[in-house]
Amino acid sequence: MGHWMRGWTARILGLGLLALLMLLPLWKVQSLVVERQGMRQAAVDQIAQGWGGEQVIGGLVLAVPTRQPVADSQGVVRTQGDVTYVLPDTASTRIGMHTDKRRYGIYEAPVFGATVELHGRFLPADIVQAREHDAASWDGNKAELRLVLGDLQGLQEVNQLLINGRPQQFTSSAASFGGSWSTVTVPVDLDALSGQPIEFAISLRLAGTQSLRALPLARSVDVTMQAPWPDPSFIGSALPAERKVDAHGFSARWHMLELNRRYGQSWHASEGRIESMVQASAFGVALYQPVDVYQRNVRAGKYGLLFITLTFVAFFLVEVLRRLRVHPVQYLLIGAALTSFYVLLLALSEQIGFGAAYAVASLSVVLIMGSYASAVLGERRAGLWLGGALAAVYAMLYVVLAAEQYALLIGAIVLVVTVALLMYLTRRIDWYATLPSVAEPAPVIMGRS
């Protein structure tokens, strides 16, 4: 039994257990990344409070007070206040964005300011059709036109508001739309319009953080956006019908019809199911930051166990091929040094960016590991060889992290090549042989005398 315990099989199983033990610090590092992501999101929320959050521009909707019969639990029918929404026939929105980044502590978030121009028209036929369902309770002289916005904090200025060619002014309102969005309102007397269409033109300045979406609140909706942001992420229920993206920014155009959504031209605010449909119909753009610091740290951590195992294997091959001895405690210290790379990478990347942080962290670990290998193995040449191999491993990892779309392919190829190389180097090793006994002469662990 003692003879077997000194064999290569037991040695390999022990190294495997040590490699698995390294999962614990790697898991803690990943938890730390999640924690730092949460702190970054809290910083983004602070920026949004002062500048404006993720914005939604919905255009104008017509809101008419009504009263609807409602039966209580005992079957008694009562009337309660409600609102009937009517959408315009056409709506055109032109949005020009300028972008920037704002910092809160060590964290930053993309922000934008936008000049928004809206034009549209309500048809008398749509208003009449909605009124026919609520003829007894329709209160047309108290109607409002409501401008739907995601975050009123970001409404910086209203340059123009024309209703049928006449200047008007918005007033603040406690009324919401879609269950979560804010509104500003302008009164309109439908009884005084005598069946005329309602045409509107609005020009305003809007600020927000990270994303800007639009709502298809018209029978025919046309939305155009442009911004000097080279990495847009088109989000929501519809992709743009036309788009252009280059290093200088992007431009995009959406065209939506009533047939493309799941709700009609009018409904009651009390119909809660409509709110979720309206929320799901939003579309627009997010100011995407490709492979940001935390995404790269998470992806680097996923390769942690693989690289620790490869480093253990490299030390083990030197140990086998040159008949040297490395103590399990020394393997444990090697694993600790490799794990510290991910902590150092996370800490530095928040301060100096991922690329520079990766260079500093990997160079530090390579120097530590190369020096330690020279001392443990008693050969400077072996230390240089292992340090060079580790540097190649970190260079390969950076290529995998940078190749966002081809990371899996590159990683798979590197893994197959590595396994093939290990098989080639160990093809003539007698794995049934035992390790040198304790009595046999062996190099001093911490260097030659």
Quote the tokens at residue 289. 């930051």
Measuring CA to CA, which residue among 179, 118, 187, 180 is closest to residue 152?
180
DSSP letter for each residue of 213-267: EE---SSEEEEEEEES-S-EEEEES---SEEEEETTEEEEEEEEEGGGSSS-SEE
User: Given this model, what pLDDT does residue 437 score?
Assistant: 46
pLDDT tens track of the chain, all 449 residues? 344 335 566 666 777 777 777 777 778 877 877 888 788 778 878 888 878 888 999 889 999 988 766 656 665 556 667 889 999 999 999 999 999 888 877 777 889 999 999 999 999 999 888 888 765 577 888 899 999 999 898 999 999 999 999 999 999 888 888 878 899 999 998 888 877 899 999 999 999 998 999 999 999 999 999 999 998 999 999 999 999 999 899 999 999 999 889 899 999 888 878 888 999 999 999 987 765 677 778 877 777 777 777 777 777 777 766 666 667 777 778 788 888 888 888 888 878 878 888 889 888 888 888 888 777 777 777 778 778 878 887 887 787 777 666 667 776 777 787 778 777 766 776 666 554 444 444 444 444 43
In contact, 92 and 118? CB cutoff 8 Å: yes
What is the C-alpha to C-alpha distance for residues 159 and 310, in angstroms, rounded to an integer? Answer: 64
Q: Is the pTM of this model over 0.75?
A: no
CA 334 to chain centre: 34
pLDDT at 212: 94
CA dihedral 302, 305, 307, 308 (to 10 degrees): 150
At 290 the pLDDT is 61
Ordered by where they begin, the domains of the chain are 2-38+293-425 (no CATH), 52-287 (2.60.40)
pLDDT of residue 340: 84
Q: What is the reported pLDDT for 112?
A: 93
| pLDDT given for residue 5 in this prediction | 39
CB 358 within 8 A of CB 350: no
Which pLDDT does position 433 carry in this prediction?
57
Note the pLDDT of residue 75.
58
User: What are the two backbone dihedrals, phi and then psi, of residue 70, each rounded to the nearest 5 degrees?
Assistant: -135, 130
Identify whether the C-beta of residue 386 lies closer than 8 Å to the C-beta of residue 369: yes
pLDDT at site 33? 79
pLDDT value, residue 441: 43
